[in-house]
Amino acid sequence: MQHDEFHSQLTLDPKGRLTLPVALREALAKEGHNSLVIVALNGPKGGLAFFIPEAYDRIIKGRVRNADPFAGGTMNYLRAVAATSQTVALDSAGRVLVPPLLRKMVGMDREVVAFSSLDWFEVWDLSRWERAFAHSVEQWDLETGNAGVPSGGEGE
């Protein structure tokens, strides 16, 4: 799905509904998508990733499609990632109800940060996002020597 990149601070309403950014709602409507699949990132330490169903199938399920389902790594992945997935409908106002179980798992209360990331977008509790972002910036600086793209990446 093609959509404009975004980074927004949003608010969950008292029922746990999230109103999606306008550009994203328009892109979803244009392509006829009326549902999204939500997956928890890093369990109780992370946020939520939202995928259109086709991207979820390709990215999340695709990682283990031909794997041995009883292999330790596969089982851990299925339990830690795939088991958290829930499909939600977009309502006529461009909102999704974030399931209570997922909100509780990632500590999402009211103030959230949403941003696009490749073929999905993420939504984080604001305070968790601030910590995760600071950690990612520190790691990025370590990996790149504060020089931009790490070796082996684009631009070489």
153 assigned to some structural domain: no
Which tens digit of pLDDT belongs to each residue from 1-38?
A: 455 677 889 999 999 999 998 888 888 999 999 999 99
Handedness of CA 1, 82, 153, 9 (dihedral sign): positive
2 assigned to some structural domain: no
CATH of the domain at 27: 3.40.1550.20
Q: Which run of H or E residues covers position 142?
A: helix 126-144
User: Distance between CA 118 and CA 41 in Å, rounded?
Assistant: 15
**115, 128 Cβ separation under 8 angstroms:** no
**35, 87 Cβ separation under 8 angstroms:** yes
Count CB atoms within 10 A of the CB of residue 129: 20
Strand partners, 18: 96
155 assigned to some structural domain: no
Q: What is the pLDDT of residue 12?
A: 96
55 assigned to some structural domain: yes
How many distinct structural domains can be found in the chain? 1
What tokens does 29 get? 């409507």
Given the structure tokens 């389902």, which residue do they identify? 69
139 is in which domain, residue-wise? 7-144
**36, 90 Cβ separation under 8 angstroms:** yes
Spans of the chain, pLDDT less than 70: 1-4, 146-156
